[in-house]
A and B are shown apart, each in its own frame.
Chain A
Amino acid sequence: MKRAITEQDIDRLAKGGRLVVTREMLLTPAAREYLSRRGISVDYETNTAHARERISEGDLASIIEQVVMEELTSPESSASNSGRSPAPQAPQQVPTVQKEGESDHRYLGRVLDALPQSDLSENRAIVTVVGQNSPGIVARISTAVAQCGGDLADMNQVIVGDYFSLIFVVNLGGLESAGSSFRLFKERLQNEASSIGCVKTLVMHEDIFKAMHKV
């Protein structure tokens, strides 16, 4: 389980205008707002190399095995990893033994449930740009995304005649460490898009889509 970090926790945890966020910590929206209000910078102590990479399905099984072994063999190292966290988490109870008679996919499901979720998967924006087709649009927009600390997760492009519609799915996990915020990110993209003649730019947080489409 991740631990939610609220406004009250921040005063306790932040040292010298810096807050170190470990994998086990989850900032609430109010806490994020509080951080930016107080001008506290956020450092993400990452061990999320796996999450950042695109994983092919074939590699999944071996990665799971590797993570399970890591969690099992070195609970101390994972605790020291989050050593700056004042309340160290209990080690994840990742199942390592397939029960008798348990099917493979049920076992895999149990393993996946027990693994920590990636922070990055919980904060994305959907960026939609519509306009007249001209070269370099994707490059311009994606550069702006990167400069704000965003990370492209997915992209889709439809071209009809002279017009195109682009949809980017952007991970926002790096926005704060790049000194940006959702509002600045949105403004930046809208300015960028209108400067290259796009007629419509929508920047929407992913949660509204999830609310409507995922149960």
Chain B
Amino acid sequence: MLLTMKEIHETIRMIESENLDIRTVTMGINLLDAPSKEVDALCRFVYDRIYERAQNLVGIAQEVEDRYGIPIVNKRISITPAALFCNGLRSVEEFVAVAHTLDRVAQDCGVDYLAGYSALVHKGVTAADQMLMDAIPHALSSTNRICGSVNLGTTKNGLNMDAVRHMGHVIKDLASRDPRAMGCAKLVVFANAPEDNPFIAGAFHGTGCADVNLNVGVSGPGVVRAALERARNQGRLDDFRSVTELIKKLSFQITRAGEFIGREVATMLGEPVQFGSIDLSLAPTPAIGDSIADIIEILGIESTGAPGTTAALAMLVDAVKKGGTMASSSVGGLSGAFIPVSEDQGMVNAVARGSLSLEKMEAMTAVCSVGLDMVAVPGSTPATTVSGIIADELMIGVINNKTTAVRILPVPNTKPGDRVDLGGLLGELIIMPLPGFSSEGFINMRGFIPAPIHSFKN
């Protein structure tokens, strides 16, 4: 079946001028068989295993990029949560040593990031989980490519508030080690963390996965924005049906491209690599026009955060999911919309204009998106307030049976309105104001918030 010239033009336009790319191919590697009693043996094993599995990842991804002419922006690795395969280690220092080994192997494989310096503590904290959390400030501030995550709650188990409180201190400690709080950009806390997420910083290789999986994330806000803009200029943007139809169609195409590339990379890597899943999330970049906020504004919201924003975002993400699930049977990961403030120029503008607050972002994450992502607050924010923000956001996920996450940067010596440039894909932060009231009493209570009831959903 020959392609029409119109179809050819459409694809070339998406790639060349609308920032369509494969955001990441992430190889998930199982490390559960590591010998975990003795740190040197463990580090040797981890290095060898990861290097053996992933040494060809970057080269093959580049070859596929070359053949099909679509950029693969990031090549990444995710691993079994470190607290699991380091279960036998006995000190925080040994956990830090593992982080350094991981950083070295990530560099030697040429990948952008390696994620999975993680712990799953939604039902309780093991000795290894505790040591990993305590190692995070030192480990993430002294490495370049390691990302960590902690799953603090699930819908089935409720929210581990002891761990929420502890992570408030961990985040503050990590932030204080760098003038721009860079380490915090590599740490995310979750409720209902997915096992096959290809996106950083929250990726890890779940215990339900095969030995080696290849997961894919696509970009694409630029494509949706451009198509909606053309429709608006032609006067075709006046009813919701045509808007959602258009988004579904684009999502279908973007997803097909992503899955095709993912399967191609997995096939070329050969046994034992299996294609895992494609994450449907529209992932923005700081590039002009590659923005979720811009899409919301084209839909007729004057500035993102104004009333109507939550509804517009919910409609957008729902249409993306509908188109994407039609295109692929291997949808997984987060599959929401990312609204990381710093990485999305439109979001930065909305915060600068004063239309978008932390509270409105929280509302937006309740209906569709993945969480409070790349949010900056003043460095003087108390740890209990950080924990309060985390508890609020994660409870939205626990109650609504969805994934939510927090990646927050309390940047030292800043005040609301200050700008902090993180560079590259991380973009520019604007410090957001907080209400200034304490949540100390609530956060300092012990134990769990119980699992929610699954009936009477109102």
User: A residues within 8 Å of B by Cβ?
Assistant: 29-30, 126, 128, 153-154, 156, 167, 169, 182-183, 186, 200, 202-214
| Chain B residue, CB-CB nearest to A183 | B66
Contact call A30/B257, Cβ cutoff below 8 A: no
B residues contacting the other copy or chain, number (CB 8 A): 25
Q: How far is the CA of A125 from the CA of B81 in the complex (A)?
A: 42
Contact call A208/B3, Cβ cutoff below 8 A: no
Within 8 Å of chain A (Cβ to Cβ): is B445? Answer: no
28 residue pairs bridging A and B, Cβ less than 8 Å apart: A29-B267, A30-B267, A126-B8, A154-B5, A156-B5, A167-B5, A167-B8, A182-B67, A183-B66, A200-B16, A204-B12, A204-B69, A205-B67, A205-B68, A206-B3, A208-B11, A208-B69, A208-B257, A208-B260, A209-B8, A209-B11, A211-B257, A211-B259, A212-B11, A212-B256, A212-B260, A213-B11, A214-B1
Q: How far is the CA of A203 from the CA of B67 in the complex (A)?
A: 8
Q: Provided the pairs A29-B268, A169-B2, A186-B66 are in contact, do residues A213 and B7 lie with their beta carbons within 8 angstroms?
A: yes
Q: How far is the CA of A80 from the CA of B213 in the complex (A)?
A: 45
Within 8 Å of chain A (Cβ to Cβ): is B261? Answer: yes
Tell me how far the C-beta of B8 lies from the nearest C-beta in chain A, rounded to whole angstroms: 6
Within 8 Å of chain A (Cβ to Cβ): is B253? Answer: yes
Interface centre among B66, B67, B268 (most CB of A within 10 A): B67
Q: List residues 173-209 of chain B with CB under 8 A from any CB of chain A.
A: none
User: B residues within 8 Å of A by Cβ?
Assistant: 1-3, 5, 7-12, 16, 66-70, 253, 256-257, 259-261, 267-268, 270
| Chain A residue, CB-CB nearest to B12 | A128
Q: How far is the CA of A56 from the CA of B213 in the complex (A)?
A: 47
- Determine the chain B residues whose CB is within 8 A of the CB of A200 once the complex forms: 16
Name A30's contact: one of B5, B70, B261, B270 (CB within 8 Å).
B270
- Determine the chain A residues whose CB is within 8 A of the CB of B253 once the complex forms: 212-213
- Determine the chain A residues whose CB is within 8 A of the CB of B261 once the complex forms: 208
Contact call B12/A208, Cβ cutoff below 8 A: no
Tell me how far the C-beta of B350 lies from the nearest C-beta in chain A, rounded to whole angstroms: 31
- Determine the chain A residues whose CB is within 8 A of the CB of B69 once the complex forms: 202-205, 208
Contact call A169/B260, Cβ cutoff below 8 A: no
5 nearest A-B pairs in the assembled complex, by CB-CB distance = A204-B69, A211-B260, A208-B68, A213-B7, A212-B253
- Determine the chain B residues whose CB is within 8 A of the CB of A205 once the complex forms: 67-69
Contact call A209/B7, Cβ cutoff below 8 A: yes
Tell me how far the C-beta of A194 lies from the nearest C-beta in chain B, rounded to whole angstroms: 16
Interface centre among B2, B3, B261, B267 (most CB of A within 10 A): B3
- Determine the chain B residues whose CB is within 8 A of the CB of A167 once the complex forms: 5, 8-9
